[in-house]
Amino acid sequence: MTPRRYVVSLIGSAEFARAYALTGLTAAFASFAIERLTSTTTLTTIIILLALIGAAMLIARRAELSLLRFAPTSLLGFLALALISVMWSSDRSQSLAGWATLLGYAVIAITIGHVRDTLQTVRAIGDTLRWLLGLSLALEILSGILLDTPLSVLDIAGDLANGGPVQGIFGTRNMLGFIAVIALITFVIEWRTQSINRVVGVLSIALGGFLALLSASPTVVVLAAAVGIATVALTIVRHAKPTNRLTVQWVLGGLVTAGLVIAFVLRHQIIRILDAGSDFSTRADLWNALLDFIAQQPVTGYGWFGPWVGSDYPFIYINFLLDDHHQSALNAYFDTLLQLGWIGLALFAALGGVALVRSWLVASVRRSVVYAWTPLVLVTLAVESMFESFTLTGIGWVLLVLCALRAGQSRSWRESMDAAHTGAIPTLGHERFET
């Protein structure tokens, strides 16, 4: 075998695909720790190398791929708009660097989505998070109990002995809480699909729940409530008779809408119950300031940067007005609106919204519980995006792209077009009996 054939065979193998998925997910989930322990350049180099390897894997597997189903149209549109926005950015080099990072994480997610199926992806995320959450707990014990001193290099405050809040290796308590919720969804799906045994399942869920509690993040309560409601609703739909399923979907949609209206009316009482008054006040002041800047360039925004670059316009002025040092809009929707305008927000909403509808419909008719992972993660991302901008960078962006790709592969107009060429009948009815 020639060296070229050997390399192609290697990167096209199942073993290499599994190793790539674990490596890519670890780099995305642990990006904060990698950057703090090394440098931004090191993290950037890792993402670039993983993106290049991912591209090589996709080329090696090109015979297995369909161009029509390669990536969601809304994703390609969002990436294209972010690149074009470099033209009107106040700092083109920083804007281009932000776009390259966005593209790099997207390529990693697209590669994982094509070389791993849903169950394999869930197992890879589960394995990654067991190690990273375990490491986070170990470092919190070391800092808060054994040494009783902060680990400033990772922003670990060492408050475990006081009951938290803790941050683990993820930088902030809100990020830890968000990842813990993703972990709980993943661990439960792993357990239900018998991918892990009962002992590992119980210990994993206990670890995720314990760290979610210790994070003391107000958003965790909201995320847990949203995921719980979505889980109950999906369970009801899955157990409904096929002839009644559409009616049940509409009734549940009406109840959710009514619940959102009630939550908005009672928002002040809810904030007081969650003891999140100071957090919400900070966000409200920031969002009010953002609206003034958004009104000046509502259609195109100020150019894509991703995480805020403090010395660039308009971020430096926003922080100056607020006498603060925000690194994001603390809201993915406002951040997108600020940087890419209404066009970008429409593409971002389409990317997540269409994926949620598709994955929800798939999960409601397919028998295997593994299909519930995608819509539940998308619900988590949608709700978290109201309080943080995690979905626009790092692991949040990876999960969004991965879920959108997975949803598009299972149910889209591309499936029908592929069927026209292959002669296959792309109906969900044949797949609802999967086990």
Between CA 291 and CA 329 the distance in angstroms is 11
Cβ burial of 268 (10 Å; 0-12, 13-18, 19+) is exposed
| Ranges of each domain in the chain | 118-216, 218-415+425-435
* Percent of the chain surpassing pLDDT 90: 40
Tokens at residue 366, please?
Answer: 């397919």
Summarised one tens digit per residue, pLDDT across range 160-216 is: 888 778 998 998 899 999 999 999 999 999 998 888 888 999 999 999 999 999 988
Which DSSP helix (H) or strand (E) runs through 253?
Answer: helix 245-265
Summarised one tens digit per residue, pLDDT across range 79-120 is: 999 999 999 888 888 889 889 999 999 999 999 999 988 899
Q: What angle do CA 186, 191, 196 make, to 5 degrees?
A: 100
3-state secondary structure of 381: helix
Closest CA to 338 of 401, 390, 286, 280: 286
pLDDT of residue 161: 83
Tokens at residue 11, please?
Answer: 């990167």
* DSSP result, 302-333: S---SS--TTSTTHHHHHHHHTS--SS-SSHH
Summarised one tens digit per residue, pLDDT across range 224-266 is: 988 998 888 888 888 777 777 777 777 777 777 777 677 666 6
pLDDT of residue 271: 60
Average pLDDT over residues 54-74: 83
3-state secondary structure of 156: strand
CB-CB contact of 109 with 351 (8 Å): no
Between CA 92 and CA 94 the distance in angstroms is 6
Between CA 234 and CA 375 the distance in angstroms is 9
Closest CA to 50 of 93, 103, 104: 104
3-state secondary structure of 151: strand
CB-CB contact of 385 with 434 (8 Å): no
pLDDT of residue 204: 92
Residue 94 CB neighbours (<10 A): 18
